[in-house]
């Protein structure tokens, strides 16, 4: 089994994939933008129907963050994605999805290492878990969240994660637990005291019993 690890680059020769909007090359699809792949185990299931509807309703939020979305559905069990999309739109009171869905016969799911081995469908294969893969403009994997098929995802957390990834990439900071836009950030421990003072002259040093000067707080770094 292959897998894509954090920091791995989506290969230039990744084969084109079949989607509900025709054949797509992921490198071209995400070129110069942030990308998100959002997988579901199968079609015609209640949680997946609600998740893909929620994703569609939030496309303006992802677009505002320069994120281009694509979904993936395990399709070896002959799921009719066109019929399922009708259900998604009607149930979630939508007029359009706003993103393509990959009809994956297991190949991409295995290559990405996002199978949920606790599930085993009648066709004999473990489908994708509920994964969120976020790729930067450099086409390197920046984050990978995977939930089991039983548990729907928290979209507020996905958007918060993207905000953190983009801020940290731009300003070279770190974000603490439960951070959201407007909160304080941290200077990475790998930044020397001298460089920290030059780049973040207004940082506040918090004392800790070890005496080590690594708890360095800065105001929200504006993007």
Domains and CATH numbers, the chain: 17-169 (3.40.30.10), 172-223 (3.30.1020.10)
The vertex-87 CA angle with 83 and 88, nearest 5°, equals 110
**Closest to 108 (Cα-Cα) out of 21, 14, 5:** 14
The pLDDT score that the predictor gives to residue 106 is: 67
Q: Is 182 left (phi over 0), alpha (psi -120 to 50) or beta?
A: left
Q: Which of 146, 142, 143, 181 is nearest to 61 (CA)?
A: 181
Give the pLDDT confidence score for residue 105 in this predicted structure: 72
| Spatial CB neighbours of 192, under 8 Å, sequence gap ≥ 6 | none
Q: Kindly state the DSSP code that residue 44 receives in the 8-state scheme.
A: S
Cα angle 54, 103, 120; round to 5: 90
Q: How many residues does the chain have?
A: 223
Mean pLDDT by 10 residues, the chain (223 residues): 79 84 91 94 92 98 98 75 95 96 80 76 70 95 92 97 96 95 94 92 94 92 58
Q: How many CA atoms lie within 13 A of 67 on its CB side?
A: 28
The string of pLDDT tens digits covering residues 109-122 is: 877 888 777 776 55
CA distances from 90 to 5, 39, 47, 95, 100 (A): 37, 21, 15, 8, 17
């Amino acid at each position: 089994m292959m897998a894509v690890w954090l920091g791995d680059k989506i290969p230039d020769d990744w084969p084109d994939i079949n989607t509900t909007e025709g054949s797509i090359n992921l490198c071209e699809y995400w070129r110069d933008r942030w990308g998100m792949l959002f997988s579901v185990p199968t079609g015609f299931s209640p949680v997946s129907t609600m998740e893909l509807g929620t994703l569609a309703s939030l496309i303006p939020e992802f677009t505002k963050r320069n994120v281009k979305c694509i979904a993936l559905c395990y399709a070896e069990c002959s799921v009719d994605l066109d019929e399922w999309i009708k259900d998604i739109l009607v149930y979630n009171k939508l007029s359009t999805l706003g993103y393509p869905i990959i009809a994956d016969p297991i190949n991409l799911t295995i290559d990405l290492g996002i199978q949920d081995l606790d599930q085993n469908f009648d066709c004999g294969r473990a489908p994708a878990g509920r994964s969120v893969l976020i790729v930067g403009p450099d086409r390197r994997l920046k984050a990978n969240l995977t939930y089991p098929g039983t548990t729907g995802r928290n979209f507020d957390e996905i958007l918060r994660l993207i905000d953190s990834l983009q801020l940290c990439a731009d300003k070279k900071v770190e974000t603490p637990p439960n951070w959201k836009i407007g909160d304080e950030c941290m200077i990475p421990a790998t930044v020397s005291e001298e460089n920290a003072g030059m780049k973040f002259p207004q940082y506040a040093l918090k004392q800790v019993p070890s005496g080590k000067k690594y708890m360095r707080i800065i105001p929200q770094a504006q993007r």
